[in-house]
Every structure is written in structure tokens, then in C-alpha cells.
Amino acid sequence: MLVLTPPMGWNSWNTFGENINEKVVMDSADTLVSTGLAAAGYNYIVIDDCWSLRERGEDGRIVPDPVKFPHGMKYVADYVHSKGLKFGMYSCAGMLTCAGYPASFDHEFIDAATFAEWGVDYLKYDYCFHPSTVPGPVLYKRMAVALANCGRDIVFSACSWGSDETKKWIKQTGANLWRTTGDINDSWRSIKELSLIAGDAITYGSINCYPDMDMLVTGMKGVGNVGFAGCTDAEYRLHYSLWALLGSPLMIGCDIRQMDDFTRETLLNLEVIAINQDPDYNQAYDASAYGVTFQDAEKNEHPIYVRQLSNGDLAIGFFNLSDQPTSRWNSYLALDRIGLPESTGKTLEMKELWTGETFKVTNGIFGETIAPHSCRLFRAKVVNA
């Protein structure tokens, strides 16, 4: 199926892990709608691992845990659909899921049929406990062909953590998104690590096959399954800005029923979401001097990502992943690097999307002093100099 922009929604894993149940999922569906998140584009509710019994039923089908989901999955799917949302679930290409529940290896068609009967719209497909005898690309093709023949449109979300060079073969499988890295957790260390390696995978992304930088930890504040140390507000904003600008799917991982105002404002910045969902889906590139000059982009703690938008504007993000403030000499953008040399007679009218501040760039260059672990995210219009 064709997915025109990166999927957005909420996934149970980061906060709830194995502690999921019907009430959490249905309450979260209600909350997506009542907070305006659904109207802003977050329309998938995805149940991650740990939703089933440990054994398949006698008919060979996976059985939802009757304690966690006493009315079965179709009931939950119907409820999610009644809210105008889409319903996602989780399985794995191996014998077992990562948490040790039955997975879909050698059961691809029966599982795809079961998901279709329940009304599933999105399947996250993990990579744990896969047999060494069948190559990864084939495992993902097996589920892709089963989904394509299950009689229902189901978004296929591959989750092989970027291993075995996923980026090079994932488009052959028909997956609509692929996880580019190992798991995120709610700490600055994790956000920084994933941010430094993001630039590589995004160059393989395109409409209908999006680089999934993992679920958001924004707003978790150290609470829940991958809660770890938690992050500062500035770090959460950097994380969200980078994921949005680079075109990652935006799957919220915090408990949205408990969001504070800062989290709500971060997740509901419609101008930032518009960049993520830009219909052209042009790839972002690093226009910092380091990104342009050096090969080892993974060492660049001050990337300046730029993305051409469909109406002619540019999205520009200055990121400071280091522990020191940036200075104008290590974080500046020369307009000729992005296609606007002086000879064009053009410059940029900037709008910072978190503060609303506006200004015009003069002399073909501008630098930003950015606090450690912070960012500035702009939408820029091309105007006469």
C-alpha cells in the first residue's frame, strides 16, 4: 500500500512495556482525540509487544491475553476506529517476539489473516529470535507478501534496528518504514547517540519507505518501560525537532494521559509537524561546514540540517549535541552552501518555530549561539536580499 507521509501516532512500548491492557489502549485513543493530537495528524494507536498468551491456540492462531484484553482485539480495533483512528499491532519475524511471546516465523499468512480479521491497519514487525537459515530480506518479504494478500491495507513497519544493512534492501520488501537503529531510551545519552548516526540512514528514505528513528521519548520524564534518566525540556525539544525535520515517523511514546503543558506544546506545534509531513518528502542534508567538508559526519556535534519544502521554503535546524554552547564559528550557515550565492540577489526571511521570532539574513551568512543540548528550528522563505 502507498503511505504518502511518515506515519504519526502513539505506541505502547516506551511507557507501558508488558503492562498493557485494553483500558490503557482505549484511554489513549480517547486522549489522542481530546487533546487535539489526532487532529494534528497522530492517528495510529499501536499496541507493541506482550499482548498475547505465551502459546498459540489449537487452531494455530495467536491468542490475545484474556486478562489484558478481555474482549479480544477486534473489540479494541472497533473502538479505535470509532474514534476516527487507525489500529496498529506488533509481531516479529522470528520464532518469538523480543519479549518471548509467539511470533510469526512460518505463520506469516495465518497471522496476516488474523490481523486483517481484527481490523489491524499497521503492523510493526520485529527481528528477534529469527532463524539463521533464512536471510533477513527474505523474512521481511515473507510477511510483506502475506500482508499484501490478506485482503486489508496494512502499513508494514519493519523493525530490524538497521542491522544487516536493512537500509539497502528494505525497499525491495514493500515495507513502508524501517527502524534505522537499536532501541531508544529516555536519556540524553540515547538521544545524542541516535542523532549522531541519523544522517546516514535518511539518505535511503523516500515517500512510502520512511526511516524510523524510533518512537519518541518526549514527555516521558523518566517514567515507564524505557524511562531511564529522563531528559530536560530542551533535550526533548531537540529530539522532537530532529526527528520531525529528518522525516522520521512521529510515534509518541509517553503516557499522553499525563502530558504536561510543555510536552503538549512540543507535540502539537503544527508548523513543525508540517515540515515532517511535507508532501515532497525531500531529504534533509547537513549544511554545516563540517557536514559539507568532512566524510565522518557521525562526529559532527553541530549539524545544521536543511530540507527543501514543497512551497519553495526551506526548513533549517541548528542542533547542538555537545556540552558547550556553540559559537558563530562552529555553527553558522553560509547561504551559498544551500544554493543561494550572492549572485542570486536572494536571501532568507527566517521564522523560528518554537519562539516565533523572525528576522532576515544579511551578508549571505548567519550564525547561531546555541545552548548545549538545544536547537533552533526555522522555516525560511526565499526573498530579495
Active-site residue set: 126, 183
Question: Dihedral sign, CA of 236, 241, 246, 252?
Answer: positive
In the complex, least distance from residue 97 CB atom to ligand GLA, rounded to whole angstroms: 6
Q: Which residue's CB is nearer to ligand GLA, number 94 or number 291?
A: 94
Q: Which residue's CB is nearer to ligand GLA, number 161 or number 262?
A: 161
DSSP state of 267: H
Residues 264-303 that bind ligand GLA (CB under 6 A): none
Residue of 165, 167, 172 whose CA lies nearest to 204: 167
Residues 202-261 that bind ligand GLA (CB under 6 A): none
Question: Binding residue for ligand GLA (CB under 6 A) from 123, 159, 259, 315?
Answer: 159
In the complex, least distance from residue 49 CB atom to ligand GLA, rounded to whole angstroms: 3
Instruction: Give the binding-site size for ligand GLA (rule: CB under 6 A).
Output: 10
Interaction of residue 48 with ligand GLA, rule CB under 6 A:
yes
Residues 126-145 that bind ligand GLA (CB under 6 A): 126
Residues 87-106 that bind ligand GLA (CB under 6 A): 97-99
Place of cell 506482550: 50
Interaction of residue 164 with ligand GLA, rule CB under 6 A:
no
Alpha helix segments (H runs only) across the chain:
13-16, 22-34, 72-82, 108-118, 136-148, 166-173, 188-202, 233-245, 261-267, 270-276, 289-293
DSSP state of 282: P
Question: Binding residue for ligand GLA (CB under 6 A) from 20, 21, 41, 49?
Answer: 49
List for the chain the helix, strand, coil content (%; round to 5). 30, 20, 45
How far is the C-alpha of 138 from the C-alpha of 125, rounded, in Å?
A: 13
How far is the C-alpha of 375 from the C-alpha of 234, rounded, in Å?
A: 8
Task: Please state the length of the chain.
Answer: 385
Q: For strands 314-320 and 374-384, give the pairing.
A: antiparallel
The amino acid at residue 6 is: P
Residue of 331, 296, 338, 332 whose CA lies nearest to 315: 338
Q: Which residue's CB is nearer to ligand GLA, number 77 or number 158?
A: 158
In the complex, least distance from residue 274 CB atom to ligand GLA, rounded to whole angstroms: 27
Interaction of residue 13 with ligand GLA, rule CB under 6 A:
yes
Interaction of residue 170 with ligand GLA, rule CB under 6 A:
no
Q: Which residue's CB is nearer to ligand GLA, number 126 or number 278?
A: 126
The amino acid at residue 220 is: M
Interaction of residue 340 with ligand GLA, rule CB under 6 A:
no
In the complex, least distance from residue 279 CB atom to ligand GLA, rounded to whole angstroms: 28
What are the b/e assignments for 354-369, b being 16+ CB within 10 Å? beeeeeebeebebebe
Place of cell 503538549: 264
Q: Which residue's CB is nearer to ligand GLA, number 14 or number 326?
A: 14
The 3-class SS string of 66-103 reads: CCCCCCHHHHHHHHHHHCCCEEEEEEECCCECCCCCEC
In the complex, least distance from residue 261 CB atom to ligand GLA, rounded to whole angstroms: 28
Interaction of residue 318 with ligand GLA, rule CB under 6 A:
no
Q: Which residue's CB is nearer to ligand GLA, number 226 or number 272?
A: 226
How far is the C-alpha of 291 from the C-alpha of 293, rounded, in Å?
A: 6
In the complex, least distance from residue 127 CB atom to ligand GLA, rounded to whole angstroms: 8
Annotate each residue in 179-198 with x if it binds ligand GLA (CB under 6 A) or - if it does not, as one string. Answer: ----x---------------
In the complex, least distance from residue 192 CB atom to ligand GLA, rounded to whole angstroms: 19
Q: Which residue's CB is nearer to ligand GLA, number 126 or number 235?
A: 126
Catalog residues that contact ligand GLA under the rule CB under 6 A.
13, 48-49, 97-99, 126, 159, 161, 183
